[in-house]
Amino acid sequence: MAEAAVLGSTGQLGRQLLAVLGRRARGIGRAELDLADPGSIERALQRLRPRIVINTAAFNDVDGAERQRRQALAVNAEGPAELARVAQARGIRLVHFSTDYVFGGDGLKRPRRESDAPAPVNFYGYSKLLGEEAVLRSGAKALVLRVAHLYGGTSLSPGRASLVERFVERARAGQPLIITRGQYLNPTSVRDLAPAVLALLRREACGLYHLTGGGACPAGEFAREVCRLAGLRAKIQWVSRDSRPARRARYTPLENYRWGKEGLPPIPHWRSSLAEYLLSA
Ligand SMILES: NC(=O)c1ccc[n+]([C@@H]2O[C@H](COP(=O)([O-])OP(=O)(O)OC[C@H]3O[C@@H](n4cnc5c(N)ncnc54)[C@H](OP(=O)(O)O)[C@@H]3O)[C@@H](O)[C@H]2O)c1
């Protein structure tokens, strides 16, 4: 019996956590546990009896969530609520992931701390906020980690290439990288995230933490650095308005405030992590 069950085993973060945890963890795919099917949650956890459940699964299509609101709510809010209920009843430790997109509606231009009031600007962010709130008030021994702009691994989930992969692909094809003016990012390598999650688990940490790569940067600066490291010419097409179906806030970076306050070592800066990833590829 594996100690930990990792949901979202085909996802970018789930795969990285499984690689780091090795034999201590077992990946759980959607066929075995569908977050949109409450019955399958209870059945899977009853059968597997893990000590820890790490939920990296989510409905992550930000634009799709505007159209498929029912499914986004089922996977990002109701599923995690049921997962937390079962975890509480069975004494299972739960790690759940959320997003910087719970912020943005306040228009602030500073990295947000865990104590800042969320204000999502799109349905994806709203559904993730409902999910994290349900987990935190469930009474389960739960850790909720807000992360942002993940890269550094490969998702097997269709259409889920990371921003780095999408930039490289477009630049290689000679297409411009479309960047919204004033947009900031908080690039986070899953290679940094996985050991940080393990460190929090070892400390038996509970509650809400922001956990992102060091530093926030203008999206244009990140795009240029990706191209530079990949040896590609960066052609940027600046737009002043995002025409995608879901609204995006321009500034949602997170401050790893609680992480730092507890004396944990800073997560590496995005520049060094990006270089490590792209130069080792
Ligand atoms: N990627 C980012 O930039 C980013 C930014 C902020 C926050 N986050 C959060 O970080 C976490 C990990 O994200 P990620 O980028 O690693 O995800 P990802 O690569 O998009 O993978 C999502 C995973 O969720 C699974 N899934 C989707 N619907 C499901 C359902 N109904 N039941 C069970 N599994 C389901 C997918 O399985 P299938 O292969 O079967 O579809 C896949 O394994 C998520 O909570 C996400 O919201 C990510």
% of residues, the chain, pLDDT over 90: 96
Name residues whose C-beta falls within 8 Å of residue 23's C-beta, 6 or more positions apart in sequence. 2
Answer yes or no: is 211 within a domain: yes
Q: How is residue 121 written in tokens?
A: 């600007």
59 C-beta closer than 6 A to ligand 1: yes
The answer to whether 65 and 124 have CB atoms below 8 angstroms apart is yes
277 in any annotated domain: no
| Ligand 1 pocket residue status of 95, Cβ below 6 Å | no
Least confident of 92-96, 186-190, 239-243: 239-243
Taking the C-alpha atoms of residue 170 and residue 200, their distance in angstroms, rounded to an integer, is 37
Is-catalytic flag, 124?
yes
Question: Average pLDDT of the chain?
Answer: 96
Q: Angle 270-280/219-230 helices, nearest 10 degrees?
A: 30
**157 alpha carbon to ligand 1 midpoint, in Å?**
8
Residue 175 lies in a domain: no
Is 165 a domain residue?
A: no
Residue 56: name the closest of 86, 1, 92, 94 by CA.
94
pLDDT exceeds 90 at position 243: no
Residue 174 counted as domain residue = no
Q: Tokens at residue 20, please? A: 């780091």
- Is 273 within a domain? no
Closest Cα to atom 43 of ligand 1: 8
Q: Which tokens belong to 209? A: 């933490």
Residue range 84-103, pLDDT digits in tens? 999 999 999 999 999 999 99
Question: Could you say which of 124, 151, 209, 277 is catalytic?
Answer: 124
Dist CA 276 CA 152 (whole Å) = 9
Nearest-CA residue for atom 11 of ligand 1? 56
Tell me, what CATH number does 135's domain have?
Answer: 3.40.50.720
205 falls within a domain: yes
DSSP symbol at 214: B
Pocket test residue of 41, 54, 60 for ligand 1, highest count of atoms within 8 A of CB:
60
Is residue 223, in this structure, part of any structural domain at all? no
pLDDT for 159 equals 87
| C-alpha angle 222-111-98 in degrees, rounded to nearest 5 | 85
- Count: domains in the chain: 1
Q: How far is the CA of 233 from the centre of ligand 1 (A)?
A: 31
15-43 residue pLDDT tens: 999 999 999 999 999 999 999 999 999 99
Q: Amino acid identity, residue 196? A: A
pLDDT greater than 90 at residue 242? no
Q: Which of 6, 7, 13 most suits a substitution to test ligand 1, by most atoms within 8 Å of the C-beta?
A: 13
Domain that holds residue 105: 4-159+186-215+252-267
